[in-house]
Amino acid sequence: MKKKIAVLPGDGIGPEVTAQSIKVLNAIAKRFNHEFTFEEGLIGACAIDKTGNPFPEETLKLCKAADAILFGAIGDPKYDNDPTAKVRPEQGLLAMRKALNLYSNIRPVKCYPNLINSSPLKKEVITGVDFVVFRELTGGIYFGEKGRDKSGKAFDMCTYSEEEILRITKLAFEAAKERKKKVTLVDKANVLETSRLWREVVQNYAKKFPEIKLDCMFVDNAAMKIIQNPRDFDVILTENMFGDIISDEASVITGSLGMLPSASIGDKSALYEPIHGSYPQAAGKNIANPLASILSAAMLLELSFHLTVESAFIQRAVNDAISTGFVTEDLNSIKNYSTSAVGDKISELVFHEVFETL
């Protein structure tokens, strides 16, 4: 198989962790006789510094021409600490999502047995946790009209159409059919009109799948339940801002933001990225956890290229590295390895190990 992958390393630790994913993908290509070509593009603060645009036209063209996109991270303190900055790195991420119509963000949350002690939650609470969040990504308050009126009041509009809700709902139910056949819609339908529309659309669509249980839960209750009983969830379906918040909340289950991959899917393009930020304090120190980026590469192989065996090899290699303690300092402060060493280890496992269960 020959595939072209657009690589957008971005800012902070983005280039370091993305480099490890490329190592692993090259190991997969070598072992399974595939050919992956990689071409880099600018996005975020580094793009602003070089072009004045956080998402240059050349990067958009690169993404549209690629079979999949591998993304690192975005953000820089010099923009974060300047509230007057009119051009910001995050604008590049929003522009990319909109331009490529990446309307569905998929974030799996899984508890790794060997990392249970890294989580702030009790062992008996998180053992066996395995759920996935489907977050609508191109609508809602992040993309609505915003501004300030003449009196100085600020406003942010949250709008949704039935079509925007329905297209991600379909993906969530398709996933639920292959999992534990349960969907939890997270909204605020007791207060928000947009949430009431979400509930109407999802409840109506759910009638087509009597075998799938649909729960509707207010976002504040869901936020509590994710901590109290995360095993109760299978597929969580929600709008943009709620999904942003609860998926980051759920990251504490794994013990590190550096463990959670994600996919952003559209009708013609798909982007894969770790959910962590640019973590500028660690940039250039070779200490960042690359596993979320590597697991994002595994999602890329499965969802965009339909290479399920190759994806499983990466996931198994990550599990083996964790079980033998080959992790970065965020997961083990006493005995740990560098970003590049972990990338090398996963690549070695992918290429040399014999996984009899696959």
Structure tokens at 70: 């591998």
Q: Active site includes 142?
A: yes
Which of 82, 156, 220, 232 is an active site residue? 220
> What pLDDT is attached to residue 115?
86
Q: Active site includes 67?
A: no
Does 253 lie in the same domain as 274?
no
Model confidence at 114, pLDDT cuts 50, 70, 90, reads confident
Q: How many domains does the chain have?
A: 2
Does 89 lie in the same domain as 76?
yes
> What pLDDT is attached to residue 236?
98
Mean pLDDT of 271-295: 94
> What pLDDT is attached to residue 43?
97
Does residue 250 carry a pLDDT above 70?
Answer: yes
Does 107 lie in the same domain as 162?
yes
d(CA 171, CA 265) in angstroms, rounded, equals 10
Residue-wise over 224-244: b if at least 16 C-beta within 10 A, else e?
ebbeeebeebbbbbbbbbbbb
Does 121 lie in the same domain as 74?
no
Does 319 lie in the same domain as 220?
no
Does 245 lie in the same domain as 114?
yes
Strands (E), the chain: 2-10, 35-40, 68-73, 104-110, 130-136, 146-148, 154-156, 182-187, 213-218, 235-238, 261-265, 270-274
Does 64 lie in the same domain as 137?
no
Tell whether 158 is covered by a domain: yes
Tell whether 201 is covered by a domain: yes
pLDDT tens column, 178-231: 999 999 999 999 999 999 999 999 999 999 999 999 999 999 999 999 999 999
Q: Active site includes 80?
A: no
Tell whether 228 is covered by a domain: yes
pLDDT tens column, 135-168: 999 999 999 999 999 999 999 999 999 999 999 9
Beta bridge partners of 4: 37
Cα-based angle 188, 192, 198 (whole degrees, multiple of 5) = 70
Structure tokens at 202: 């999802």
Does 159 lie in the same domain as 80?
no
> Can you give the residue range of the structural domain that contains 227?
103-257
Which of 49, 215, 248, 320 is an active site residue? 248
Tell whether 151 is covered by a domain: yes
Does 140 lie in the same domain as 24?
no
pLDDT tens column, 286-312: 999 999 999 999 999 999 999 999 999
Which residues, in sequence order, are CB contacts of 277 under 8 Å at separation 6+? 12, 73, 74, 75, 257
CATH assignment of the domain containing 142: 3.40.718.10
Does residue 116 carry a pLDDT above 90?
Answer: no
Does 148 lie in the same domain as 15?
no
Structure tokens at 179: 């999992």
pLDDT tens column, 329-357: 988 889 999 999 999 999 999 988 766 54
Beta bridge partners of 216: 185
Cα-based angle 303, 309, 311 (whole degrees, multiple of 5) = 50
Show which of 257, 291, 312 is a domain's final residue.
257
> What pLDDT is attached to residue 297?
98
Which of 98, 110, 181, 188 is an active site residue? 188
CB contact at 8 A, 78 and 28: no
Radius of gyration of the chain (CA): 20
Does residue 321 carry a pLDDT above 70?
Answer: yes
CA 216 to chain centre: 23
Residue-wise over 277-300: b if at least 16 C-beta within 10 A, else e?
bbbbebbeeebbbbbbbbbbbbbb
Does 283 lie in the same domain as 163?
no
Q: What is the mean pLDDT of the chain?
A: 94
Model confidence at 251, pLDDT cuts 50, 70, 90, reads confident
Residue-wise DSSP of 191-228: T-HHHHHHHHHHHHHHTT-TTSEEEEEEHHHHHHHHHH
d(CA 206, CA 45) in angstroms, rounded, equals 42
Share of the chain above pLDDT 70, in %: 99
Tell whether 262 is covered by a domain: no
Which of 244, 272, 279, 330 is an active site residue? 244
Tell whether 203 is covered by a domain: yes
Show which of 191, 222, 257 is a domain's final residue.
257
Tell whether 162 is covered by a domain: yes
Question: Interhelix angle for 240-250 vs 219-228, to 10°?
Answer: 10
Show which of 203, 235, 257 is a domain's final residue.
257
Tell whether 238 is covered by a domain: yes
Does 239 lie in the same domain as 251?
yes
Which of 79, 112, 142, 272 is an active site residue? 142
Residue whose C-alpha is closest to residue 235's, from 227, 243, 298: 243
Q: Active site includes 244?
A: yes
Q: Active site includes 188?
A: yes
